[in-house]
Amino acid sequence: MKNAQIVGWAHSKFGKSAAPDTETLMAEVIAPALEHAGVGAADIDGIFVGVMNNGFSKQDFQGALVGMAMEQLGRTPAVRMENACATGSAALYCALDFIESGRGKIALVVGAEKMSALPTADVGDILLGACYRNEEANVTGGFAGLFGQITQKYFEKYGECSDALAMIASKNHQNGVHNPYAHMQKPFTFEQCNEVTDRNPYVAAPLRRTDCSLVSDGAAAMIVASADVAADLRRAIAFRARTHTNDTLAMSRRDITNFDGAKRAWAASLEAASLTLDDLDLVETHDCFTIAELLEYEAMGLAEPGKGADVIRDGITHKDGRLPVNLSGGLKSKGHPIGATGVSMHVMAAMQLAGEAPEGMQAKDPRFAGVFNMGGAAVANYMSVLERVK
C-alpha cells in the first residue's frame, strides 16, 4: 500500500478550557501523539498545523507555535493551513501529500482552536469569515442564521421536519455520553430537543439551541507515516480513499438545499475505494447544525433529496442502526473548535478501527469508516474512507 497511514494520535478534552491559547492547547496533544505512535520528535520530517484563527487570537504564525510548545520540534519544517471549518482536514491532507510525494517519511498534524475567551457576538462575527461576506455578513444570527436560512428553504421545498432534527440532536448527545473527550457528556431526550423552551429557544428559527454545535476550545494531533515505516509501528490505519471537492462560496449562486460538493466527494471516495455505503461500519460526519447532518445523509446516498428525515426516523444512523453516524457524539456533543475538528473526526474514526475507542463508544469489529468534514456551507468538502491495516 503506497498511501500514507495514521500510526498514532492524541485528543484533548473539548470544552471551555483553562488553556490560554492554541500554543498551550497544542502542547497538551503533541507529546502524547508521539508516544502513542511510538516515534520521537527527531523522527518528524514535517509539521502541518490547522488553526482558523481569523481574530480569535492576535498571535498568528500558528505553524511556528508547535516549536514553542515542544522545543525539540523548533527546527522541523512547519506550515499552517486554513480552510474554514475544514481547516483540520486541510492540514491532514497536506501532510498525506507530503508523505506520498516522498518528501518525508513521518509527519505531525495538529489542529487547535481557542474560541471561548471572546464574547459570543465576537465569536459569531469571526465565524462569518467562513461565508461570503459581500452578501451574507449581515444575516441575523451569524453563521447559525445562515444555516437557519438553509433549514427554512429545505422545509419550504420538502416539508417541515423539525422532529427529525431533534432526533439527530438527541442521537448525538446520547452517543456523546460515552466520549470522555466531548464538550457536553449529557444526554438529551427527543422531547427536550424538539420543544422550544426557555432552555431551548430558537437561535435562528427554525433552528433551536439543541440544533447548534457548541463554541469550544480544544486540540487533536495525528502522526502519519509512509507505509514502509508504518509496517514497523504498533498500528496502522490506511486511507482507502480520500477526496477534496469544492463548491461556490456564495449561497445565492447554488441550490443550498443540495450539498452538491459533499455529494461529489462521497461518490468519488466510494468509487476510488471500490466500496458502497453498505460496506462502511460507521461514519463521522460534520453536524455543525442538525440540518447539516440531515443534508449529508442525502449527499452520501442514504436517501433521495428531500427524504433525509426518513433516515433518522427509521433508526438507520443510530448506534444500533445499519450505518451508525457520529458515535463520538459529533460536533453537536463533542464540540467544534474549528481548527481541531477535522483532525478530531479522523482520530475518532481511527480509534474505532483500531479497537481503541472508549468503552460504550466502541463499534463491534469495524473494518471501514467514513469521515466527512466540510468548510462553510458545504463549500470545502473532505471525504475519507479509512481502513485498518493492523
| Catalytically active residues, by annotation | 85, 336
The sheet with strand 106-113 has its strands ordered as: 78-81, 46-50, 106-113, 218-225, 5-11, 237-246, 380-388, 368-375, 282-285
What is the identity of the amino acid at 129? G
Q: How far apart are CA 265 and CA 2, in angstroms?
A: 21
Among residues 130, 383, 174, 169, the alpha carbon closest in space to that of 292 is found at 169
Q: How far apart are CA 146 and CA 104, in angstroms?
A: 41
106 phi and psi, to 5 degrees?
-140, 135
Tell whether omega for the bond before 305 is within 30 degrees of 0, i.e. cis. Answer: no
Grid cell at residue 61: 504564525
Indicate the burial class of 138 (C-beta count within 10 angstroms; 0-12, 13-18, 19 or more). exposed
Please, which residues bridge with residue 225 across strands?
Answer: 5, 106
- Beta strands at 282-285 and 368-375: parallel, antiparallel or unpaired: parallel
Q: How far apart are CA 381 and CA 86, in angstroms?
A: 7
Q: How far apart are CA 16 and CA 183, in angstroms?
A: 8
Helix, strand or coil, per DSSP, at residue 259: coil
Q: How far apart are CA 301 and CA 378, in angstroms?
A: 16
